[in-house]
Structure 1
Amino acid sequence: MRSLTFAVSLVSLTFIQARVIVDPLDLATYDDSTARTSFFPLAAAAYSTNPQKCLSAKFSNAQLRRQVNVQCDSGGKNDICSAYTALLPANNAVVLSFRGTQGFLQLIEEADKSVFQSQSQWIAGGKVSKYFGDAFNTLWNAGMKDDVNYLLHTNPTFEVWVTGHSLGGSMASLAASYIVSNQIAPGNKVKLITYGQPRTGNTPFAVAHDAQMAYSYRVTHNRDVVPHIPNEGMEDYKHHKAEVFYKESMKPGASYKVCSSADESNDCSNGLLITASVSDHLTYFTKDVSQWGEAGCN
């Protein structure tokens, strides 16, 4: 009995030290260290004109395959979207990382397009913002498709890691879904972590996305405005699972809440009265995401 008591106490102490509130099923999946030290540098690297700098700084023998830059849509706005593919031999992973918003003006424009412009049918089910869908498809057909197929053909046992910040988070969400839908990789081989992702599609899309992969996490920082764009319910926009909410601090050891029981939950960022911080959107894990990525993740 004393051994059992000690074991329970040890588990309790672990929870206290980490200051984490999670559902039991999430203990084997979301991990702060993985999100902070692996996926986050990969997301930040997409802001650099040379992602290899971040890759070399944070991973052993990482190999950039290609960076792709395209016009996000055909509306003549000159919005430039970017993404890259890479290989992480030491982590047994193929990487797809998508760049987030460049400049506050484009941030506002994203919100406008997501809310007011048309939606398009999505391959897995439901509808998504046409702007996000077009941006992903253009990047995919500009070289990412060939790179992913090649990297997985030559490394068939590797996982697929998909990530992105802001607009990049929405494109990463679509990329992971597309890869599973087209049987490029099975859902149990795909890992998705996004940061400050806007609402990307409608409720049927969220339901379909939830069914495609277990390892799917949307990290949100306190009052970050972008995860609440467009407003919940407008044109039936809704997030997919699962939100990981860091309230206030994102310093090492900071507490966070994993909300996996519903696509959106008042136990996470939806429970805040005010969610209008641009600063919280630009800063994750105490780093200015774009500046840190541009500086080579150093």
Structure 2
Amino acid sequence: MDMANSLESSDVWPWTRHGQRKGIPQGLYDDLVRYTKYSSGAYQILCARPMGNTLVTQFTDLISSTHGYIARDDTRKEIIIAFRGSQNVGHILLDSEIILIPLEAPGIGDAGDARVHMGFLFAFSSVASTVISHMDSLLKEHPDYTVVCTGHSLGGSIASIGAISVKGSFPDAAIRLFTFGRDMHPQHSGQPRTGNKAFATLVETMLDPTNIFRAVHSFDGVPTMIPTKLGYHHHATEYWQFTEPPSPEHVKECTGGEDPDGSVSIPYMGISLPHMVYFGQPISQDPTVCL
């Protein structure tokens, strides 16, 4: 089934009141599409040329099943770190490790009260030394390049930890964070929130909300075991595609980490197709993003 085309009819969307809301600039929308494709490419066994750019390295940890790659775009002067989302039973087990534990990662000194999902921290920690080592070499060679951390689903949660780890390790580096399909209804997130409110505040403080883009597609509602009552809280800034077809006019920039007029304002729909299609891109199913 062509998932992208199956979502094009606006007739299936009952929340027409959101259609009157102001959209986002075309340039920002283009970025959301671009990094959706990078995130999708992380699902490929080999992403030889991510978005036609240079593959620096791929990384995989067999124990945690964490997989991703680092790419370099010399035209846009960017270094992209992409993390794969849930792919197998190992990832499901990681998703179930919902205990909040103190944040400890390269570049992060005293994290205060920041606590994160135990499984997500384990996933990032398993590849952290590889990521930081390559970033050290790349930023020495290209100190003016912007670093973009990105991922879909579980990969988005890992990217959130990775982004502040890279920022803490290389304070002068410009960091942007793009995640897709991570957060949804307060009781039924599209993917688990990464940590507690102190963690969300830390992410916003280290990166600044203007550099954080947490995308949600309509009623993306892949069920999870992590309700907010367990202490989880998501960070700014949500960009919610609230209706079809995908376009700048149909994306709302939300306020803060828990905007009541964002994606949490619609009914929870359970497991849904939108989780695997973002901004018209079928996640994991298009190998051309690696050519």
Matched, 1:70 2:54: no
Contact persistence 1:250–1:284 (CA under 8 A)? no
Deviating more after overlay: 242-251 vs 194-203: 242-251
Report what 2:202 is aligned to.
208
SS at match of 1:21: coil
Superposition deviation, residue 287 in structure 1 = 2.6
Give aligned-pair identity as a percent: 24
Task: Tell me if the contact between 1:46 and 1:99 (Cα under 8 Å) persists in the aligned partners.
Answer: yes
Give the corresponding residue for 2:241. 246
The Cα RMSD (Å) is 2.6
In the aligned structure 1, how far is the partner of 2:142 from the partner of 2:218? 38
Q: Residue 88 of structure 1 corresponds to which residue in structure 2? A: 73
TM alignment of 1:114-193, pairs within 5 A: 114=98, 117-122=99-104, 123=108, 124-125=111-112, 126-141=114-129, 143-182=130-169, 184-186=170-172, 189-193=174-178
- Aligned-residue offset at 1:20: 5.8
Q: How many residue pairs end up in the alignment?
A: 256
Relative distance call for 1:285 and 1:250 in structure 2 (3 A) is farther
Letter in 2 for 1:113: E
Distance in 2 (alpha carbons) for counterparts of 1:279 and 1:106: 22
- Structure 1 moving runs of 4+ over 6 Å: none
Q: TM-score under structure 1 normalisation?
A: 0.77
Instruction: Label 1:42 to 1:250 Cα distance change in 2 as closer, same or farther (>3 A).
Output: farther
| Structure 1 residues 48 and 108, CA gap change in structure 2 (3 angstroms) | closer
CA-to-aligned-CA distance 1:55-113 (integer Å, 9 cap, x gap): 32xxxxx210110111354xxxxxx220111111001111111001114x566545422
Partner AA of 2:60 in structure 1: N
**TM-fit CA distance, 1:290:** 0.9
Amino acid at match of 1:285: F
| 2:7 matches 1:32 | no
User: Is the CA contact 2:81–2:148 (under 8 Å) kept in the aligned structure 1?
Assistant: yes
Quickly say closer, same or farther: Cα 1:82–1:259, change in 2 above 3 A. Answer: same
Deviation at 1:21, TM superposition (A): 2.8
What is the alpha-carbon distance in structure 2 between the residues aligned to residue 273 and residue 140 of structure 1? 37
C-alpha spacing 1:132/1:264, structure 2 compared with 1 (3 Å): same
Q: Secondary structure of 2:220's partner?
A: coil
Using the TM superposition, give the Cα deviation of residue 174 of structure 1 relative to its aligned residue in structure 2, in angstroms.
0.6
Q: 2:66·2:126 contact (CA, 8 Å) conserved in 1?
A: no
Greater share of residues in helix: 1
Contact 2:124 2:158 in 1 (8 A): yes
Q: 1:250 to 1:167 in 2, by over 3 A?
A: farther
Once the 2 structures are TM-superposed, how far is the Cα of residue 118 of structure 1 from its aligned partner? Answer: 4.7
Distance 1:20 1:151 in 2: 41
1:134–1:54 CA distance, 2 compared to 1 (3 A): same
2:77 and 2:21 map into 1 onto residues whose CA distance is: 28
Q: Structure 1 residue 250: deviation in Å?
A: 5.0
Please, which runs of 5 or more residues in structure 1 have no aligned partner?
1-17, 57-61, 74-79
Cα-to-partner distance string for 1:239-261 (whole Å, 9 max, x where unaligned): 1111111123252455011113x
1:30/1:245 Cα in 2 relative to 1: closer, same or farther (>3 Å)?
A: farther
**Aligned in 2, Cα 1:271/1:19: closer, same or farther, shift over 3 Å?**
closer
The code of the aligned residue for 1:63 comes to T
Q: CA deviation at 1:232?
A: 4.0
Measure, in 2, the Cα distance between the counterparts of 1:275 and 1:240.
22
Q: Does 1:284 align with 2:267?
A: no
Structure 1 residue corresponding to 2:216, chosen from 212, 216, 220: 220
User: Any gaps of 5 or more consecutive residues in structure 2?
Assistant: 1-18, 183-190
Length-normalised TM-score, structure 2: 0.79
Partner of 1:6: none
| 2:231 equivalent to 1:236 | yes
